[in-house]
Amino acid sequence: MFPTYPNIPIGFQPGKPTVWGFNTQIEESQVKGATQIFYVDSGHPGALDGHPGTDPNYPLATIQELIDRSTGASVVTPALGNYDVIYVTGDVTESVVLGDTSDMPTYVSIVGGGTAPHSPTWTAATAAGTALTINQEGWTVEGFTFEVGAAGTAIQLREVPASDLSAYKTTIRNCKFDGLWGGLYGVDFAGAPHRVVIENCEFLEFRRGDSSAFAIMVTDSTHTNPYECKILGNLFWENENHIGSLGAIRGFNVSVFAGNVFYEGELIVATLMLDLRGGSRGNNLVTGNVFCGDYSNVGGYYAHAGTPGMWVGNYAEDLAEAEVADNGFTVAPPA
């Protein structure tokens, strides 16, 4: 018989309609596959980092405590193992940094399960800090509202050549990224981790006033570029820029962008909507998205110059462009 756990809403329905950034249910398969479930709730009266953390009535106070006890030679039992779940029900005010591939377990899920709307929230320890830095492969982050301070970042994915830092196969789903009119980045690809999945998330109000803020950004490509990533079913609106990269050599390669909505903005007008000019190979697949505004380079839509890939079957309101058919479907990359 499948076990029941206090405060965990079981019963994920695969056919459930998409609601961007607000599905905080833990999938049944995640619980079944977990060797252990650790509970973190900063607002619980009995929360204490000295607890084992495996009893929901005696949760840990911080996520970083669990990361530290599960890292390298300092492992303290009970510690995280592969495929474990960190279930977070209280708001988080931490800048959490994962260990790397040499000393951390893989395929761990950090799942937010707050009962109030938009909860649990996650903010960095400092306004300009990063809420979560991922250095290990296969981790999943789900069910949080990231509230990003001025010049801050919600999640940084790191990969450094000839090192143990690799956020390969990270999955980020069902999260809301709120830039609060001052945040710098929602998700920062720092070093080009590949096979990353970002799905069913909402990105809004990333604004610095100088067009430097991005919902999703490739800031470093020392290990070629992000490759075989999937950006699926997300909502981008009221951001200075939605998806882009720093410099023409940085960007996504052989990746899929499907089912997303790119809104041009009302109070915060986007400069770049989907900028795929960077990358050493390009050749991305862009389909099934909703493209608002001017479907052209002027409007902030760019394909890779050398290998533009496929930009077909998107919905664009700009019927004046030769790259948009009379029925509103794109038939060619923007120009």
pLDDT digits (tens, 9 = 90+) for 282-316: 999 999 999 999 999 999 999 999 999 999 999 99
Residue 5 pLDDT level (bands cut at 50, 70, 90): very low
Q: What is the dihedral sign for C-alpha 216, 218, 223, 229?
A: positive
Taking the C-alpha atoms of residue 11 and residue 332, their distance in angstroms, rounded to an integer, is 41
Give Cα separations from 173 to 23, 144, 202, 246, 334 (angstroms): 9, 9, 10, 24, 28
Quick check: 208 and 151 in contact, CB under 8 A? yes
Residue of 273 and 72 predicted with greater confidence: 273
Residue of 24 and 190 predicted with greater confidence: 190
**Residue 26 reports pLDDT greater than 90:** no
3-state secondary structure of 72: helix
Quick check: 222 and 191 in contact, CB under 8 A? yes
**Residue 6 reports pLDDT greater than 60:** no
Q: What angle do CA 195, 197, 202 make, to 5 degrees?
A: 155
pLDDT for 114 equals: 85
- Tokens representing 170 are 């990270």
Query: pTM of the predicted model, to two decimals?
Result: 0.91
Percent of the chain with pLDDT over 90: 79
Residue 329 pLDDT level (bands cut at 50, 70, 90): very high
pLDDT for 221 equals: 59
**Residue 117 reports pLDDT greater than 90:** no
pLDDT for 74 equals: 77
Taking the C-alpha atoms of residue 121 and residue 115, their distance in angstroms, rounded to an integer, is 11
Percent of the chain with pLDDT over 70: 88
**Residue 8 reports pLDDT greater than 50:** no
- Tokens representing 239 are 């951001």
Region 70-78: mean pLDDT is: 89
Region 173-192: mean pLDDT is: 96
Domain edges within the chain: 117-316
pLDDT for 25 equals: 46
The mean-pLDDT minimum among 175-179, 261-265, 276-280 falls in 276-280
Q: Residue for token digits 């982050």?
A: 141
Taking the C-alpha atoms of residue 6 and residue 41, their distance in angstroms, rounded to an integer, is 13
pLDDT digits (tens, 9 = 90+) for 154-180: 999 999 877 899 999 999 999 999 999
Q: What angle do CA 306, 277, 314 make, to 5 degrees?
A: 95
Taking the C-alpha atoms of residue 226 and residue 189, their distance in angstroms, rounded to an integer, is 8
State the DSSP H helix or E strand holding residue 99, giving kind and residue range, or none if neither: strand 96-100
The dihedral region occupied by 334, where left means phi > 0, alpha psi between -120 and 50, and beta the remainder, is: beta
Of 202, 175, 56, 46, the C-alpha closest to 119 is 175
Of 311, 267, 274, 275, the C-alpha closest to 292 is 274
Share the mean pLDDT of the chain: 89
User: Largest alpha-carbon pair distance within the chain?
Assistant: 64
pLDDT digits (tens, 9 = 90+) for 135-158: 999 999 999 999 999 999 999 999
Region 109-120: mean pLDDT is: 91
**Residue 181 reports pLDDT greater than 60:** yes
Residue 72 pLDDT level (bands cut at 50, 70, 90): confident
**Residue 31 reports pLDDT greater than 80:** no
The dihedral region occupied by 176, where left means phi > 0, alpha psi between -120 and 50, and beta the remainder, is: beta
Q: Residue for token digits 């956020």?
A: 167
pLDDT digits (tens, 9 = 90+) for 246-262: 766 789 999 999 999 99
Region 76-102: mean pLDDT is: 96
**Residue 222 reports pLDDT greater than 70:** no
Region 42-57: mean pLDDT is: 96
pLDDT for 12 equals: 29
